[in-house]
Structure 1
Amino acid sequence: MPIADYPAGAALATDLVTTSPTVRGVDALPDPDALAGLLARHGIDAEPPTADDVFAVRLLRFDVRGIVETETVEQAVAGAGVLIGRAALGPVLRRDAEERWQWHVPTEPGAPLADRLAAVIGVALLGVVRSLGHDRFRACAAPGCRGVFVDASRAGRRRYCTPELCGNRVNVANHRRRQEATR
């Protein structure tokens, strides 16, 4: 993963955390097919996931949530460092598609899928802390939602863990409230 591509890793972290039954009411990672879909949505090339991969990634989901919920930047940095240490090797320079030199963090050959994802997410979380600040690790603003997310947007005004779900619920509730007020 290119180090400068922390927004993609932050999106992966957020999407992984929001698959939890804590957020959705049901586990959105019930099987290898669901995990394969998550990986595909984030452009992650991997062998077809197994049931063991699903179990390990579900455990990773708790670790990532714990980092996003940290109270201090030091806690977040330490947690991300632990994730990186699961499979990452030292940073290297590689040429990108435009032949520019970019920092990358490769992972150990043969490392388990969950450990490779941990390294990608750990680097991304450090990138967010360095570039945007720890205050970009947030709880969802939707009433009743227990989701958390990493806001790697330029403006930094994201409010919901899953805008298409939580944001829509809030918008529909606001619309209904306005309709009732005009009756």
Structure 2
Amino acid sequence: MDIPLNDYPTGAAVATDLVNTSPTVRPDGDGLPTPEALAGFLAEHHVYPDAVAEREPTGEDLFGVQLLRREVRGILETETADQAVAGGHVLARRAALGPVLRRDGDDRWQWHVPTAPGAPLADELAALFGVSLLGVVRVLGHDRFRACDATGCRGVFADTSRAGRRRYCTPDRCGNRVNVANHRARQRAGSVAR
């Protein structure tokens, strides 16, 4: 797999989505219960690791990615930038090779970090997430690692939005739930006032 250094927001978004597939976060259970679900997750996020380029993910791959999910969560929950950077380095070292300079489709030079040939799926993803989370700390700051604001949610995320005002781990789920609850509260308050 080839990790572009300038596209850290994409890797951070995939890391966030992976962490939030955990049964710790999801009230309906594990979002990655099977190797097929893992294959769907990778395809949905347009992540194409070399480890599964010519085969489907296995139960061993799934187990490794489920363990990785915990490591990534630990980085998103760090208290300091130094802790986050140390965790990002640990993840990146699992499969990342030194950066290389390559031309992109527009003939511009871009930095990339390739992963080691033959690396397991979880290690390739660890490298992607480590490099991406290090990019978030460098460009946006450690304060962009946050817990979800939705009541009762245990989700965490890396806010790579331009304004840095993201509040929910999964805006479509948690954000909508909060908005619906607020709307209903306003309706109840309006009907009481009449």
Highest Rg: 1 or 2?
A: 2
Shift of 1:33: 1.3
* 3-state SS of paired residue (1:94): strand
Q: In the alignment, which residue of structure 1 is the partner of 2:169? A: 161
Shift of 1:97: 1.2
* 3-state SS of paired residue (2:86): helix
Q: In the alignment, which residue of structure 1 is the partner of 2:32? A: 29
Q: CA–CA distance in 1 between the matches of 2:38 and 2:116?
A: 21
Q: In the alignment, which residue of structure 1 is the partner of 2:63? A: 55
Q: In the alignment, which residue of structure 2 is the partner of 1:119? A: 127
Which whole-Å deviations, capped at 9, do the CAs of 1:117-175 have from their partners, x for residues lacking one?
00000000010000000000000000000100000111111100000000011011001
Which whole-Å deviations, capped at 9, do the CAs of 1:47-72 have from their partners, x for residues lacking one?
22111111000000000000000000
Q: In the alignment, which residue of structure 2 is the partner of 1:44? A: 47
- Name which of structure 1's ranges 38-47 and 96-105 shifts more when overlaid on structure 2: 38-47
Taking structure 1 as the reference length, what is the TM-score of the superposition? 0.98
Shift of 1:29: 0.3
Q: In the alignment, which residue of structure 2 is the partner of 1:65? A: 73
Letter in 2 for 1:130: R
Letter in 1 for 2:85: V
Q: In the alignment, which residue of structure 1 is the partner of 2:88? A: 80
Q: CA–CA distance in 2 between the matches of 1:20 and 1:176?
A: 29
Q: CA–CA distance in 2 between the matches of 1:45 and 1:83?
A: 18
Give structure 2 stretches of 5+ with no counterpart.
none
Q: CA–CA distance in 2 between the matches of 1:158 and 1:33?
A: 31
The alignment status of 1:136 with 2:144, answered yes or no, reads yes
Q: CA–CA distance in 2 between the matches of 1:151 and 1:40?
A: 22
Q: Which runs of 4+ in 1 moved over 6 A?
A: none
Q: CA–CA distance in 2 between the matches of 1:97 and 1:152?
A: 25
The alignment status of 1:151 with 2:159, answered yes or no, reads yes
Shift of 1:96: 1.1
Give the share of equivalent positions with the same residue, in percent.
72
Letter in 2 for 1:107: T
* 3-state SS of paired residue (1:22): coil
Q: CA–CA distance in 1 between the matches of 2:131 and 2:45?
A: 15
Give structure 1 stretches of 5+ with no counterpart.
none
The alignment status of 1:101 with 2:109, answered yes or no, reads yes
Letter in 2 for 1:20: S
